[in-house]
Chains A and B, each alone.
Chain A
Amino acid sequence: MPTLTIDNQQVTVEDGTTVLEAAEQLGIVIPHFCYHKALGAVGACRMCAVTVHEGTFKGLKMSCLIKVEEGMVVTTDDAKSVVFRERVSEWLMLNHPHDCPVCDEGGECQLQEMTIASGHGVRRYEGQKRTYNNQQLGPFIAQEMNRCIQCYRCVRTYKDYCGGKDFGVMGSRNRVFFGRFKDGPLESDFSGNIVDACPTGVFTDKTFRFKSRFWDLQEAPSICPHCSLGCSTVPAGRYGELQRVRSSVNEKVNGFFICDRGRFGSSYANHPERPRQASRGQWKLTRDEALVQLDSKVRELIRQHGPEAVLLLGSNRASLETNWMLQRWAEKIGCRAPLLSAHLPRHLAAQVAAFDLADRLASLEKIRQSDLVVLLGVDPLAEAPMLAVALRQAVKKGGQVLAYDPRSIELPCVFEQQSMSPLQLLELLDQDKSPESGRLLDLLKKAESPVLVPGGDLLGAGGLLRVQKLAVVASNQTRSCLVHPVLAGPNSFGCGLLSLPEQDDLLTQLESGRIKMLVCVETDPLLEAPNGERFAKALSRLEELAVLDYLPTLISAHTKLFIPTSAPVEAAGTFVNNEGRQQLFVPVMEPRLPIAVTGSGSHPPREFLPEAPGSDPRPAWQLLQQLLGEEVELAQLRERMKTAVPRLIDFDKLQPGGVFCRVSDADERSCYADEISAQPAGSLQLVVSPARYGSDLLSRFSEKLKPRFTDACLQLHPQDAAERGLDDGMKVALKTDCGEYYLTLRCVEGVATGCAVVENGPAFPQLVPGGKLGFCQVAAGGRHD
């Protein structure tokens, strides 16, 4: 731990720290462009010059490249360094346009800041500036190459860090060009990160272009609600509209970047059909009226039919606070404990993660540092995109990635895939039934820091318990084999954690006919649980269906009483991510109808009201508080929740936007008995996978993501297709337990034989991932439509 002196201040830092990082610890910001914590230093921009007075290399040095030494003396504010940096700034500005007022980056531009900070104010260069033709890079990213200062951050982010293939740097000397071979949409699922990485206005968010200045935006630290990883984000809103999302830093989770689904999938909050007022059928209600009706109806039905008559339903989209308040409300009104998910298999998998795996959970950071990661039934780009980027970092450090999956998986790194049907996967995990098991166990035992990454959707609770057993066997005294379970939603783990051990299936309950009233809190069983059609039938038999939500979901057709809630960006709350990290988010903006809507493109109406239109939605936990008749501050509510659920971390210890902590361990629950039904002759194993975009409801209701939505298809191994006399591109009929569907066939080599793969998404919402292991028949034929 060397101690050095920077600008007359002493600091002791870790070995291997650079002078730039050491100065940062003292609060001294040395101007820089090419250095980025995740991407490292390349010493290309020459901006971070400092003078080294004592040390091996004396004189003017680039602080991002010089490692600290014991007794080093460095100044950042001496005349030589200051003039050097000013000259560098002037030189970087030679070709840069002087039009900050019309540039979309203005106000949050690192070049602007560094130029002003370095003291360069008057341009001496009078020659011609270098200019470029820009490329059309698709719906998400706008390019203005004239603003480029050649820091190479974009290509280092897109290609080196995230593994994108269709972006690079062309040309030489003052003609270098960062872009694609030809015009066309950027293909990477992490393309948006170049917007954050670019220190100037070359790459900007096209969906946010010329909407707002940075300083006009309302921003707050938040947690991405699009998958179970819980990446840190900073959403930004203005005039009631959620305008953009940028990545935030959580070194234990996403690191510095986020995926395009999280970044461009935010416009669900502005959905034009988003219900913003309470209603009973056609009748508009105030929030208070609706809550009174809800309360009295619940009490009336319990009085008439007993406590079994009312069922409350929480969800993994709803915050921990909401789900917990729902449990408390159930206690108060005396009905049975709420189900915290409409999708029982997914919920059981989450419980295994929250209890049985709790003592061996690994963060994404652990994966980035791991030397062996084994994917078991996980398609990262579809289920947890930033996991794919984490895997790439592991591989870049020399680690190995193995994937066992029935689907044809793509990853932005070198990896070994073994196609395997869901049944074979379970056999692999059973350890004695599959020849591959021995090899896998050997590899795991030899590895220094192995991580198993099971997919909760594909393996189910039974599979996850097998993974736990495998992890125990693969652990030794010096190190534990860790597990990073991929779950369904942003708060799946949280729901699992809160949930009682015995959980009934919602559909079975509804079909029994005993339930007279269902209260759905931020969930739609029609879209988020298997068997949507049976659900629809069961729902129509209810006497009362109350829905509290912020999305215009399908269930609204059956809803009798609707109460609007605020979206995650409009509320404070807690999500517990897939590895048990208890993460807080705070409201970015107030819920209200965007001015873009009220003004329909022109000036908003000149009416003077005490409240903005559409500002009725409240966080669901607040509504439940009102029902419970106890309106306390969030901090107090959280304190009570922490007391009731001891596994939670003290909320005082957590800071929004921080690294957060994992909830404490628990005893194993192992409440799941798994039953595998016999495979009918001639049938295929049905694999329902989420589509990369539009499988989670938030991205499905995000207009911005539409260009990435894909058509529905059925994937078979060419051999299976040939056996059935089917050709690529043919219309085929898929017969499942849930119904018969007509899809276009795609023959894919990477699909495991004996499997039929369909993607759940906007084009095919009928089958939902994560159901029980199912079988299906595929035959030629299709409707004429």
Chain B
Amino acid sequence: MAQEEKIDSIGLLDENELAYFVAHANELEHPREMVIDVLRAIQKNHGWVPDEGVELTATILRLEPIEVEEVATFYDKIFRRPVGRYPIHVCDSICCWSNGGQELAEQFKQQLGIEFGQTTEDGLFTLLPSCCLGVCGCAPAVMIHQQHYGPLSREDVGELINRLRREASA
């Protein structure tokens, strides 16, 4: 067996996180079950998961990179490409759709000047369609990081964008 080498987290995870994941990976019968946790931690620190992040996760959990990639690419909330500081997931499922979800999406597109899948030039916002966010009671809704917003009206959209812009420049 190769000697236990120290894992270099190349700035994607801090020392404590790395130590935590390595320790847990050694305890678990199937370290694979932590794939999402490690990817989410990397995404939180780095904004998205670069190839090195997939490889790092594989090293920590003693998996093949492809096994991590299979999970990382399956979920649309794990970003394998750079995104803006505020990725906006606009729900396009049935409840939001019947409550003006399409118009809401149009509002975001108009006010940010981007299409789905694009990022604003200032690098602040990325607009993404999403399947049901699980907050049908607040339709039409969006999700930014782990926070839900809804129901949103035309005015709410402008206000939300401005608030986030102010937050970013603070």
Contacts and interface: CB of A to CB of B under 8 A. Distances in A.
A167 B1 contact: no
B64 A166 contact: yes
Nearest to A165: B64
13 contacts: A166-B64, A168-B70, A169-B70, A170-B73, A171-B73, A172-B74, A181-B51, A181-B64, A181-B65, A181-B69, A182-B51, A749-B1, A749-B2
A171 B70 CA distance: 7
A181 B55 CA distance: 10
Nearest to A168: B66
A180 interface: yes
A170 B69 contact: yes
Contacts of A167: 66
B2 A172 contact: no
Nearest to A750: B1
Give the 9 A-B residue pairs with the shortest CB-CB distance, closest first.
A170-B73, A168-B66, A181-B65, A181-B66, A171-B73, A168-B70, A172-B74, A165-B64, A181-B69
B14 interface: no
A567 B65 CA distance: 43
A172 B76 CA distance: 9
Contacts, number: 33
A181 B75 CA distance: 16
A170 B64 contact: no
Interface string A41-77: 0000000000000000000000000000000000000
Contacts of A181: 51, 54, 64-66, 69
Contacts of B66: 165-168, 170, 180-181
Contacts of A172: 73-76
A131 to B, nearest CB: 16
Interface string B1-20: 11000000000000000000
A594 B69 CA distance: 45
B126 to A, nearest CB: 18
Contacts of B54: 181
B interface residue count range (under 10 / 10 to 19 / 20 to 34 / 35 or more):
10 to 19
Nearest to A182: B51
Given A168-B66, A170-B66, A180-B66, 20 more contacts: A165-B66, A166-B64, A166-B66, A167-B66, A168-B69, A170-B69, A170-B70, A170-B73, A170-B74, A171-B74, A172-B75, A177-B73, A181-B51, A181-B54, A181-B64, A181-B65, A181-B69, A182-B65, A749-B1, A749-B2
Contacts of B2: 749
A63 to B, nearest CB: 29
Nearest to B74: A172
A172 B73 CA distance: 7
B67 interface: yes
Nearest to B72: A170
Interface in B1-50: 1-2
B73 to A, nearest CB: 4
A167 to B, nearest CB: 7
Nearest to B64: A165
Contacts of A171: 73-74
Interface in B94-136: none
A83 to B, nearest CB: 29
Find the residue from A165, A169, A170 having the highest chain B CB count within 10 A: A170
A618 B115 CA distance: 70
Find the residue from B66, B70, B76 having the highest chain A CB count within 10 A: B66
A182 B64 CA distance: 12
Interface of A: 165-172, 177, 180-182, 749
Interface string B55-82: 0000000001111011001111000000
Nearest to B71: A170
A170 B74 CA distance: 6
B62 to A, nearest CB: 12
Contacts of A182: 51, 65
B47 to A, nearest CB: 21
A168 B67 contact: yes
B60 to A, nearest CB: 16
Contacts of B73: 170-172, 177
Contacts of B74: 170-172
Contacts of B51: 181-182
A170 B75 CA distance: 10
A180 to B, nearest CB: 6
B30 to A, nearest CB: 14
A170 B65 CA distance: 12
Find the residue from B51, B54, B67, B75 having the highest chain A CB count within 10 A: B67
A740 to B, nearest CB: 32
A182 B74 CA distance: 16
A166 B58 CA distance: 12
A505 B63 CA distance: 51
Find the residue from B54, B65, B75 having the highest chain A CB count within 10 A: B65
A172 B66 CA distance: 15
Contacts of A168: 66-67, 69-70
A749 B2 CA distance: 8
A383 to B, nearest CB: 25
Nearest to A179: B66
A78 to B, nearest CB: 35
A735 to B, nearest CB: 30
Interface string B137-163: 000000000000000000000000000
A120 to B, nearest CB: 30
A180 B54 CA distance: 13
B55 to A, nearest CB: 8
A171 B54 CA distance: 14
Contacts of A180: 66
A161 B75 CA distance: 26
A181 B69 CA distance: 7
A749 B74 CA distance: 37
Nearest to B73: A170
Contacts of A170: 66, 69-70, 73-74
Contacts of A749: 1-2
Contacts of B65: 181-182
A755 to B, nearest CB: 18
A526 B51 CA distance: 50
A488 B66 CA distance: 36
Contacts of B75: 172
Nearest to B2: A749
B81 to A, nearest CB: 13
A171 B75 CA distance: 8
A170 B1 CA distance: 30
B46 to A, nearest CB: 18
Find the residue from A165, A167, A181 having the highest chain B CB count within 10 A: A181
A725 B154 CA distance: 77
Contacts of A177: 73
A328 to B, nearest CB: 56
B144 to A, nearest CB: 22
Nearest to A169: B70
A284 to B, nearest CB: 55
Nearest to B58: A181
A766 B74 CA distance: 51
B32 to A, nearest CB: 13
B165 to A, nearest CB: 32
A177 B69 CA distance: 11
Contacts of B64: 165-166, 181
A168 B73 CA distance: 11
A172 to B, nearest CB: 5
A113 B65 CA distance: 36
Nearest to B54: A181
A177 B70 CA distance: 9
A165 B75 CA distance: 21
Find the residue from B2, B54, B74 having the highest chain A CB count within 10 A: B74
A171 B69 CA distance: 9
